Amino acid sequence: MQTFPEDHSQARPETRPEVRGLDLDPQTRCRHYHSALDIIAIKMNCCGVYYACKDCHVELADHEISVWPRAQWNSKALLCGACGNELTINEYLQSESRCPACSAGFNPGCRNHHHFYFEPDTP
């Protein structure tokens, strides 16, 4: 008799947005970032499309990334590759590297890359 793992996620997979990237796996890891924790996809402000990372955007899109201005940080722009939950930028920045929906761990090292995606602090 076959058993299937229980699905604890509340997200419906058919509602997942498209994610683009090189060598994408089902949890949105890509050729550049593929550790166990690299499961976040980011919607690019420039084109409104989810990419696995900025390097995938560089290789696949024909334009420069534009960062999310702070005024738009309440937009859903992060996708948890584990459960398909979409987070706003504010939710993501306050998530302490854990998905609020399924509590999958995110890569804390992504913090070092925030300035590629989100408007940096202005002193």
Are 46 and 63 within 8 A, CB to CB? yes
Contact 70, 59 (CB under 8 A): no
Q: Which stretch binds Zn ion (CB under 5 A): 42-50, 70-78, 89-97, 105-113?
A: 42-50
Q: Determine how β-strand 40-43 pairs with β-strand 19-20.
A: unpaired
Q: What letter does residue 118 receive in the DSSP assignment?
A: B
Tokens of 100: 């609020």
Please select the residue that binds Zn ion; options are 79, 80, 89, 110, rule is CB under 5 A.
80
Min CB(37)–Zn ion separation in Å: 12
Q: Is 85 in the site for Zn ion (CB under 5 A)?
A: yes
How many other CB atoms are there within 10 angstroms of residue 89's CB atom?
A: 23
Count of residues that interact with Zn ion, criterion CB under 5 A: 18
83 is a contact residue toward Zn ion (CB under 5 A) = yes
Q: Closer CB to Zn ion, residue 1 or residue 82?
A: 82
Alpha helix segments (H runs only) across the chain: 54-60, 89-93, 114-117
Nearer to Zn ion, 19 or 104 (CB): 104
Interface residue with Zn ion among 19, 24, 53, 89 (CB under 5 A) is 53
Residues 65, 117 contacting (CB under 8 angstroms): yes
Q: How far is the CB of 70 from Zn ion (least distance, A)?
A: 19
Residues that bind Zn ion (CB under 5 A): 30, 32, 44, 46-47, 52-53, 55-56, 61, 80, 82-83, 85, 99, 101-102, 104
